[in-house]
Every structure is written in C-alpha cells, then in structure tokens.
Amino acid sequence: MKQGFFKQVLQGNDKYFLSFAPGRIEFLGNHLDYNGGTVLGMAVNAGISCWGIPREDHSITLTSEGFKRVTLLGELDCIEKQSGHYGWANYPLGILQELKNRKLAPEKGFHLYFSSSLPIAVGLSSSAALELATALTLLQLAKKELPRHELVSLCRDAENKFVGMPCGILDQGTSAFGENNSLVKIDCAEESYETIDLPARTQAWIFDTGIKHDLVDSLYSVRHQECKDALASLNSQGASLSHLAFVSKKVLGDSSLDTNLYKRAAHVCDEQGRVTRFCRGLAAGTPPQSLGEILNESHQSSSGNFENSCPELNFLAEQLFAHEKVHGARLTGGGFGGAVMAWTQDQFNEGDARLVSDNFQNEFGQKSQYYRFSPSAGSRTERL
C-alpha cells in the first residue's frame, strides 16, 4: 500500500473506510471452476486496497493510483459501463450495481480510492481483488454485512453480468477465504470452501511471459463455450451430466465428440483427477517433489489438450521442470499469455530465478519478471 497518495487524499479526514483483498495464484485446477470442478488457489501477500469516503450528495468518484490516477465521475443512480482509460472502473461499478440489486448499496454518494501492490496481467487476478475490496468498502459505507460465501457470489455475478467475463468462483473464492500457509480448496459445483495446509519449507514463484491479455477479448470465452458445447454434446448422447468436470474417462472414451471438443473435455476430466490426487497426496504426507509432478502434468494438459498455452509459457515451464529445486510448475490463470507458477523448495532463491529469466531473454529477447509470494489471509476490512 502506498500511503503517501492517500494521506494527500484524506487531508485529515478520519471519516473513511478501508478494505484489502489479496491477489491469488491458481495453484491447480485450470479452467475447472466454471466446469463445476474442484480447484486449489493460494491467496498471496499482495493485493488491492480500497478507501471509501462518504459524501452527502449522490455523486460518486472512483480514482485508481495504478491507472495514472484516472478519476471517474458519476452518479449513484446512473451506473454506466465504461471503456478506454476508464475500463478498469467496470469492476467496482459492477459491484455497486450488484449491491443495488440486493438493496445493500450506500444510499448516498462516495469517493473510492484504489491502490495496488500486485503486478498487473500476470495471472494473479487483480480483478477479483478489486471487486472484493470494493464490495467490503461499499458495505461499510452502507453499514451492511455479508457472509463471505455470499460476498464471493456477489463478486462473481458482477464480473459475469456487468464486466462480461464468464468466470467461475476460483478467483473471488480464493481471495475471500485465503489463510496463511494454506491453499483454498473450492468445490465449484457446491460453492463450498475449505483450507488445506501446504507442506513446510516450500514457496511459490511467478514468472511473467510479458504477454499481456484481456481475458474478456481473448480465447478464454471461446474455451468457456467449447466446454459448454462438449457438455451439451455428451448429454445429447445420454451422459446426464450436470457439469463437465463430472465426466468419467469411460463416458468420454465411449462418446462421439469431435476432436476439438474431446480434447477440451479430456483436459477437464484429467485435471479434476489431478486435483483429487494432489489433495489425497497432501493428506497422506506425500513428498512435495512427488506432488509437483502433478503440476507438471497439468501444464502439459493445458498446452496439449486445452491449448491455452503459448511458446513463452511452455519455455518457462520446461526450464522450471528441469530445475533441481523446483517441485513442479504450470501456467496459472486463464492462459494465452500471463505467467507460470513454480512450486519450489525454500532454497530456491533470487539467483535461481534470475537464471531462468536470463535463459528466457536469450530465447525471446526480453527478461521474464519474477515474483515470490507467500500464502496469506483473505479479504478483510482494515483501519490505519
């Protein structure tokens, strides 16, 4: 949090509300959330802060330090979708609209100010952190509360309906339910949450390809539709599945899906199996180096069957697969650019990361930026 900016904003005003929501790493379960599967996420020790100051009229202002301090001016009773330099504001505006739909929004106007400690567009879901931090601050302004699971659903609905991103609940669920030294396990069909301990003396690193992506305009929506089409086709053949993640290898093998839909469904089926194996392995005390192989398999499936990787992601994953201090590595987030996550021994250090980045530069002409994160607590209200 860069507090200098906000000290100028507050100017001695102690009538403010503050919330924080962490970014997240998709640890395992690529594209399973909207397919009704079980996913593993890790809330990280970086995120977005949202400061709210009440007004006495019905005007609203949204200011982001991260977007060149662009300020959006609006009215509480006239919420309109934005574009261009103001596109980032659709996430908090979507939250405001959903709160209004549920009669939980503030009755008067407000100023909202945002600050982020997250790197942008590397698959850490800054959008979900922005949504959760906004929701918590607006609820404080309205003197309302929501249970965490309802907060997650509200934020997901805002992104689906207002922003237009057909995401599941992995991002918001992980950011809301994160705990120190733990993964968040989410049953996306039941929308239930639990935390499971990570082995000691391990850490997570993110390696950025430098390929930025706007998921609303990318192939993410195409993959989402392909999964829906695969489910519909399987059911038309007598499968009776409520979610694609429930498909068995036998049903899939006996089906007559076309090649493209078969590959998407095979990834979802196998990825669900990988999450199950990983959780069972954690419970049984399986060594991290063995569990890491499951992460490697996940990346290979994303690349080969789901086809949401790219040469840069594959190069980083292969470099990390081969590193003696790395348990496993895989692309994280929507794919089509973004970043690779490496789950490593605690001896993996800055020098090791720099070498991977240098090798990437030799191959692609630019360094891969890298970041180390720890599993952290989830979204929360705060007070300075």
Higher local confidence (pLDDT), 1 or 280: 280
Domain C-terminal end among 169, 198, 227? 198
- Tally of structural domains, the chain: 2
Is residue 148 within a helix (H) or strand (E), and if so which, with residue range?
Answer: helix 148-158
Q: Which domain holds residue 274?
A: 202-373
Start-end of H helices in the chain: 3-10, 90-101, 126-142, 148-158, 170-177, 220-236, 249-254, 259-284, 288-301, 311-321, 350-364
Domain C-terminal end among 183, 198, 213? 198
The verdict on 181 and 106 lying in the same domain is yes
The answer on pLDDT for 11 being more than 80 is no
**And the tokens for 18?**
């503050």
Interval 152-187: pLDDT, tens? 999 999 999 999 888 889 999 999 999 999 999 999
Does residue 382 fall inside a structural domain? Answer: no
Interval 184-199: pLDDT, tens? 999 999 999 999 999 9
How far is it, in rounded angstroms, from Cα 365 to Cα 114?
A: 34
87 phi and psi angles, rounded to 5 deg: -60, -35
The verdict on 305 and 168 lying in the same domain is no
The verdict on 177 and 313 lying in the same domain is no
How far is it, in rounded angstroms, from Cα 100 to Cα 112?
A: 17
The verdict on 186 and 270 lying in the same domain is no
The band of 22, judged by pLDDT with boundaries at 50, 70 and 90, is very high
The verdict on 174 and 46 lying in the same domain is yes
The verdict on 131 and 248 lying in the same domain is no
The answer on pLDDT for 281 being more than 90 is yes
Considering 14, 33, 77, 171, which one is annotated as catalytic? 171
Q: Find, among 81, 66, 87, the residue nearest to 23 by Cα.
A: 66
Does residue 379 fall inside a structural domain? Answer: no
Does residue 378 fall inside a structural domain? Answer: no
342 forms beta bridges with 205, 329
The verdict on 354 and 333 lying in the same domain is yes
Annotated active-site residue 171? The verdict is yes
Interval 196-211: pLDDT, tens? 999 999 999 999 998 8
How far is it, in rounded angstroms, from Cα 341 to Cα 321?
A: 11
The verdict on 190 and 238 lying in the same domain is no
Interval 312-342: pLDDT, tens? 999 999 999 999 999 999 999 888 888 999 9
pTM of the model: 0.91
Domain C-terminal end among 167, 198, 229? 198
The verdict on 125 and 227 lying in the same domain is no
The verdict on 325 and 206 lying in the same domain is yes
Does residue 380 fall inside a structural domain? Answer: no
24: domain CATH number is: 3.30.230.10
How far is it, in rounded angstroms, from Cα 126 to Cα 377?
A: 16
The band of 2, judged by pLDDT with boundaries at 50, 70 and 90, is very low
Does residue 262 fall inside a structural domain? Answer: yes
74 forms beta bridges with 60
| Helix 311-321, helix 288-301: angle, nearest 10 | 160
186 forms beta bridges with 39, 193
Does residue 230 fall inside a structural domain? Answer: yes
The verdict on 184 and 213 lying in the same domain is no
The verdict on 303 and 251 lying in the same domain is yes
pLDDT, residue 212, reads 76
